């Protein structure tokens, strides 16, 4: 049986890892073993932080909308509830941009949200359920 020599493929693999670890501090960028660990950890962080970035950006939008709402004497939660009652579907990204770029248009949206009435809730009695009065202790 012929012996397989892996010099080319292992060198290629190591060069790829060391290239990915370029810019790391100390031995992380020079030694293969440390570089491999560091690159694996960095990949895990980058995967996680791509999602964290989206979360943080949404929080920025909410903060901007809230600040603009409070300037117009309404809280963020009442504003969003008013938009839902008025059946206005604008995402938070657009609301934040409108709040920053054109305050007059945002004021009109707030006016619509304030005027919107909550839909009437119809209470339904459940059949077969009776209230039980507590017995008096004597």
This prediction has a pTM of 0.69
For 94-120, the DSSP string reads HHHHHHHH-HHHHHHHHHHHHHPPPPP
C-alpha–C-alpha distance, residues 45 and 22, integer Å: 16
What element of type H or E holds 38? helix 32-71
Is the per-residue pLDDT at 107 higher than 60?
yes
Out of 66-70, 102-106, 130-134, least confident range:
130-134
Nearest to 29 by CA among 13, 18, 40: 18
pLDDT digits (tens, 9 = 90+) for 13-61: 999 999 999 999 999 999 999 999 999 999 999 999 999 999 999 999 9
Which pLDDT does position 69 carry in this prediction?
A: 95
Give the separation between CA 135 and CA 22, rounded to whole angstroms.
Answer: 78
Extract the runs of DSSP E, i.e. beta strands, from the chain: none
Domains of the chain, first to last: 13-52 (no CATH), 53-115 (1.10.1900.20)
């Amino acid at each position: 049986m012929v012996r397989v020599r892996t010099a080319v493929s292992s060198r290629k693999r190591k060069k790829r890892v060391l290239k990915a670890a370029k810019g790391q501090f100390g031995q992380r960028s020079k030694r293969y073993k440390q570089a491999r660990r560091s690159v694996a950890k960095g990949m895990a962080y980058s995967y996680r932080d791509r999602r964290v970035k989206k979360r943080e950006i949404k929080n920025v939008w909410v903060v901007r909308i809230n600040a603009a709402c409070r300037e117009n004497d309404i809280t963020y939660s009442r504003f969003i509830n008013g938009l839902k009652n008025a059946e206005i579907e604008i995402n938070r990204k657009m609301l934040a941009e409108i709040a920053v770029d054109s305050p007059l248009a945002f004021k009109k949206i707030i006016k619509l949200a304030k005027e919107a009435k909550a839909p009437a809730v119809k209470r339904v009695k459940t059949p077969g359920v009776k209230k039980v009065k507590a017995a008096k202790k004597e």
